[in-house]
Amino acid sequence: MQEQYSPRDIEAAAQAEWNRTNAFQVNETPDQETFYCLSMFPYPSGKLHMGHVRNYTIGDVIARYQRMQGKNVLQPMGWDAFGMPAENAAMNNNVAPASWTYSNIDYMRTQLQSLGLAVDWSREFATCTPEYYRWEQWLFTRLFQRGVIYRKNGTVNWDPVDQTVLANEQVIDGKGWRSGAVIEKREIPMYYFRITDYAEELLTSLDDLPGWPEQVKTMQRNWIGKSVGMEVQFPYDVDSIGEAGRLKVFTTRPDTLMGATYVAVAAEHPLATQAGATNPQLQAFIDECKRGGVAEADIATQEKKGLATGLFVRHPVTDEKLPVWIANYVLMTYGEGAVMAVPAHDERDFAFAHAYDLPIRPVVRTSAGDETPAPWQDAYAEKGVLINSYEFDGMDFDSALTAIGDVLKQKQLGEARTQFRLRDWGISRQRYWGCPIPIIHCDSCGDVLVPEDQLPVVLPEDVVPDGAGSPLARMPEFYECSCPTCGNPARRETDTMDTFVESSWYFARYASPHYQQGLVDPKAANHWLPVDQYIGGIEHAILHLLYARFFHKLMRDEGLLDSDEPFKNLLTQGMVIAETYYRLEANGGKTWFNPADVTVERDAKGKIVAARLTSDGEPVVIGGVEKMSKSKNNGVDPQSMIEQYGADTCRLFMMFASPPDMSLEWSDTGVEGAHRFLRRVWRLASQHTQGSRPTALVTTSLTDEQKAVRRSIHLAIKQASQDIGHNHKFNTAIAAVMTLMNVLEKAPQVSDQDRALLQEGLETVALLLAPITPHISHGLWQALGHSDPVISAPWPQLDESALVQDTLQLVIQVNGKLRGHLEVAAHASREAVEAAARQNENVVRFTEGLSIRKVIVVPGKLVNIVAN
RNA sequence: GCCUCGAUGGCGGAAUUGGUAGACGCGGCGGAUUCAAAAUCCGUUUCUGGUGACAGAGUGGGAGUUCGAUUCUCCCUCGAGGCACCA
């Protein structure tokens, strides 16, 4: 064994052996328990960032731990390769998105491999290849035939200058990011997945996922947003073109129907469109509402505005005339795009009524009383006994619901209904670098599916987009085709699919990544799926994870899979953050400096008080800790870390600095600390293995001191097993191994049994660290005399008898305050413990002049004496 | 605006079911080794008062439940993630 810890040699040797033996390549071995460990696959943005390293290290630790449990572990890797950044890079550098993407993949694969991941690389794929997306197109055609996909108009961000549709990210303060033009909402036809058909199941089957964080399930429940309420119709005699009709609204508070004083419709509502056509003032307001992007965060934070249409509807119970308003706070995408406004009991209606002087009529007695004076109080929204509601007076929520429901049903003006907040998923994108939608538009046959034997519709790869609409729409060689049904000239769809579609089923494709006869080989898919452990960023808590759950159910209903849910256990990892430093420029802008180029100054206590740019020695402003990003220039390059310290140090630091679900603050000195620890482990093992092979450990004849060392070994096993296997708290598992190392380094090395004990201790360290720092563990294991590699070794077994102690330390409290300690025999009786505590000199001192009211004894823990 | 989560020493974080707050690491301070430095090792390190023994305070702020609260309940402040075309 080398005396110096040399990560470069150790890591190269370990990786060479894993490659030589195809150590992580797996197949459908019968009778071996499987474990499918999946980390969210990366977008090939150029090079690895620390978020990737963290994600894949967490996955690798779990995968390697499960392998040591004797399971057949599948850990695949691939590339989520379609998306906007490739188009932006293409425009900036004049390269085709395809070649940019493929070269990124090549570079990032090498980087990932240098981390020493236990990945089955034979299953790798990229979603931008026809071999992958042909099955997406195939599934599309199946779902289209089943009616799961349909076409309707949707609203997009339209840049009137660049004449193109923009993503929400490309709309900044309501303006186009390149043109600076004011964005407008525009309706275009798009294809939709009927995810709302699965809303109920997506909601209820969350209860079958005990291995998901409660937080994520709550977010998904609220996103799906099931509301039980009533659809109410407000009849009108005449609209702006002189016709009678009914305005439909959905409400969760039908009990407040008698308090409705106006109705409000969205600017896109048909009634508004119609009214605007004959009223220039209204039309101007509608146009104003259509300015700006479609992102809900922007719409919800804008000033509440409205305009009366001059139209009136009739109250369905009282026949009273109520004005119809157009309001920018009514969302066309929820319910009916129209609301009945009850200002007395709804906060937004309340604010709107005050702004526009509309009547407010309280109809529920709340804990704030019978009146609703301004300002708004949350109590106004409470459910309670009805007042000012004619025949419904005195009813509570439930009886009012029934009674009002009955009246509406009798008049055929309303009925109970369930409404979901979840909307159908629009997947059409007017972009080039995505999976083509396999549809052909024919003047006589309509929307015709591309027949299965003509799939895939191949995306041409040598195209450089220019930011002015989709290049496919300007390529006759792509869109000119003949109708598969009638043979007449037709036009191929030029929109591509939302890139969320590729990532909604990739986990299934890994089971049989090269299968040519179908989307999945059903035998392989059912062998591996569902994924036992899924790991990824919390930012995917809703969209990606909901879409993937939805697709899993679609694939199930297509007969491709047997399971109901894709991911049994979910771990959501936190962000990687780092300190930021900047200087203010004369123009008010900020220049950001990388932490690597900055030197910090500390006060006497070690608190950071100032920072200077290393190169010129002049001060910089400390900007606070933020997510690593290009814009703040606070990213640390994983590659240089690996080159400087090795992959094991990098992995160890990332796992030690914080638990996986919390944010992780980068610290150069922390990395050095991790490296120092690995050097200590190596040094102790190196000293130990210089001697002759130790004799066998005889656990029955250990001295008290040796027993204490052995207890430390098994305490570490206990802690690490629980932390890695159960709680995914790798930081405390590592702390346990560090504590063990502190003991082993100080343990005497005199007798044969001392050496045998150290052998057990070092083997334990190697095994407990094996999932986290696999390379050094590989080297240690060999050096400790094992011929089989550490990846084939089983996880260490806890010897409970090593933990047994003869005496225990109890805590003594007086009135809940710590006043002393008490050493008692492990099996001392309650009475004996209490008696001993009462004699403690501090207890006597602190209870002097008081009478003891109560003594609480918590066995094995503490004694609390209550006195006053 | 709405949904979700979080806040503990100088810093990252730990604390089983409500039972010793600060494990482990970083940083700081003091010392050993060295011609010197790096590396390594030893000691110390929540704050306040005290030479000290010791005492008091302390887990974002305020209230509550309890013999006992970082942990449970309510209110507030600040920060983070998401909001359907970033992935």
Q: CA A684 – C1' B32 distance (Å)?
A: 21
> With bands split at pLDDT 50, 70 and 90, how would you rate the model's confidence at A501?
very high
- For residue range A614-668, list pLDDT tens digits in order: 888 888 888 888 888 888 888 888 999 999 999 999 999 999 999 999 989 899 9
Q: pLDDT at position A149, please? A: 98
Please state whether strand B lies within 7 Å of residue A333 at its CB atom: yes
Ramachandran category for residue A47: left, alpha or beta (phi over 0 → left; psi -120 to 50 → alpha) = beta
A656 touches A720 (CB < 8 A): no
Instruction: Name the closest residue (CA) to the C1' of nucleotide B14.
Output: A732
Please state whether strand B lies within 7 Å of residue A298 at its CB atom: no
Please state whether strand B lies within 7 Å of residue A862 at its CB atom: yes
- For residue range A770-797, list pLDDT tens digits in order: 999 999 999 999 999 999 999 999 999 9
Give the mean pLDDT of A411-428: 95
pLDDT exceeds 90 at position A236: yes
Which of the nucleotides lies closest to A43 (Cα–C1')?
A: B87
- For residue range A523-579, list pLDDT tens digits in order: 999 999 999 999 999 999 999 999 999 999 999 999 999 999 999 999 999 989 888
Instruction: Measure the CA–CA gap between A464 and A97, rounded to whole angstroms.
Output: 7
Rounded to 5°, angle at Cα A830 from A826 and A833? 70
| Average pLDDT over all residues of chain A | 93
Q: Which residues contact A714 (CB under 8 A, 6 or more apart)?
A: A798, A799, A800, A802, A803
Instruction: Measure the CA–CA gap between A148 and A681, rounded to whole angstroms.
Output: 58
Give the mean pLDDT of A406-433: 95
Instruction: Measure the CA–CA gap between A712 and A719, rounded to whole angstroms.
Output: 10
Please state whether strand B lies within 7 Å of residue A541 at its CB atom: yes
Please state whether strand B lies within 7 Å of residue A858 at its CB atom: yes
| DSSP letters spanning A412-455 | TSEEEEEEES---EE-EE--SSSPBP-EEEETTTEEEEPPGGG-
- For residue range A74-112, list pLDDT tens digits in order: 999 999 999 999 999 999 999 999 999 999 999 999 999
Give the mean pLDDT of A494-517: 98
Q: CA A198 – C1' B32 distance (Å)?
A: 71
Interface residues 697-736 of A with strand B (CB < 7 Å): 729, 731-732, 734-735
Interface residues 559-618 of A with strand B (CB < 7 Å): 575, 602, 604-608
Q: pLDDT at position A845, please? A: 85
Q: pLDDT at position A156, please? A: 95
Which stretch of A145-159, A261-275, A718-732, A819-833 has the lowest confidence by average pLDDT?
A: A819-833
Sequence letter at residue A220: Q
Instruction: Measure the CA–CA gap between A491 and A477, rounded to whole angstroms.
Output: 11
Please state whether strand B lies within 7 Å of residue A866 at its CB atom: yes
A511 touches A527 (CB < 8 A): yes
pLDDT exceeds 80 at position A519: yes
pLDDT exceeds 80 at position A588: no
Residue A436 has a CB neighbour count (10 Å cut-off) of 25
Token pair listed for A328: 């920018």
A808 touches A799 (CB < 8 A): no
Give the mean pLDDT of A785-813: 92
> With bands split at pLDDT 50, 70 and 90, how would you rate the model's confidence at A369?
confident
Give the mean pLDDT of A722-735: 95
Token pair listed for A95: 């390269």
Please state whether strand B lies within 7 Å of residue A673 at its CB atom: yes
Q: pLDDT at position A727, please? A: 92
Q: pLDDT at position A93, please? A: 92
The H-assigned helical ranges of A531-667 are 543-557, 638-645, 647-657
Predicted ipTM? 0.95
Instruction: Name the closest residue (CA) to the C1' of nucleotide B69.
Output: A816
Q: pLDDT at position A440, please? A: 98
Interface residues 733-792 of A with strand B (CB < 7 Å): 734-735, 738-739, 742, 745-746
Q: pLDDT at position A377, please? A: 83
Rounded to 5°, angle at Cα A566 from A563 and A571? 140
Beta strands A364-365 and A385-386: pairing type? Answer: antiparallel
Interface residues 653-672 of A with strand B (CB < 7 Å): 656-659, 662-665, 667, 669-670, 672
> With bands split at pLDDT 50, 70 and 90, how would you rate the model's confidence at A395?
very high
- pTM confidence score: 0.94
Q: CA A410 – C1' B62 distance (Å)?
A: 53
- For residue range A466-497, list pLDDT tens digits in order: 888 899 999 999 999 999 999 999 999 999 99
pLDDT exceeds 80 at position A589: no
Please state whether strand B lies within 7 Å of residue A367 at its CB atom: no
CA dihedral over A425, A426, A432, A435, signed as positive or negative? positive
Tell me the three state secondary structure of residue A841.
helix
Give the mean pLDDT of A343-353: 91
Q: Which residues contact A285 (CB under 8 A, 6 or more apart)?
A: A267, A276, A305, A307, A326
Computed on alpha carbons and rounded to an integer, the radius of gyration of chain A in Å comes to 34
Token pair listed for A489: 């000239």
pLDDT exceeds 80 at position A606: no
Instruction: Measure the CA–CA gap between A259 and A28, rounded to whole angstroms.
Output: 65
Q: CA A296 – C1' B2 distance (Å)?
A: 10
A225 or A591, higher pLDDT: A225
Give the mean pLDDT of A172-186: 93
Please state whether strand B lies within 7 Å of residue A219 at its CB atom: yes
Instruction: Measure the CA–CA gap between A146 and A140, rounded to whole angstroms.
Output: 10
A506 touches A80 (CB < 8 A): yes
> With bands split at pLDDT 50, 70 and 90, how would you rate the model's confidence at A424?
very high
The H-assigned helical ranges of A147-189 are none
Instruction: Measure the CA–CA gap between A861 and A42, rounded to whole angstroms.
Output: 48
Interface residues 85-144 of A with strand B (CB < 7 Å): 85
Which of the nucleotides lies closest to A42 (Cα–C1')?
A: B87
Nucleotides of B under 7 A from a protein CB: 1-5, 10-15, 19-21, 23-29, 39-42, 47, 55-56, 67-69, 80-87
Token pair listed for A607: 């608190």
Which of the nucleotides lies closest to A668 (Cα–C1')?
A: B26
Environment class of residue A815 by beta-carbon count within 10 Å: exposed (0-12), middle (13-18) or buried (19+)? Answer: middle
Instruction: Measure the CA–CA gap between A516 and A497, rounded to whole angstroms.
Output: 22
A601 or A161, higher pLDDT: A161
Environment class of residue A204 by beta-carbon count within 10 Å: exposed (0-12), middle (13-18) or buried (19+)? Answer: exposed
* Residue A170 DSSP symbol: G
Please state whether strand B lies within 7 Å of residue A83 at its CB atom: yes
Q: pLDDT at position A691, please? A: 86
Instruction: Measure the CA–CA gap between A510 and A372, rounded to whole angstroms.
Output: 60
Q: CA A625 – C1' B7 distance (Å)?
A: 15
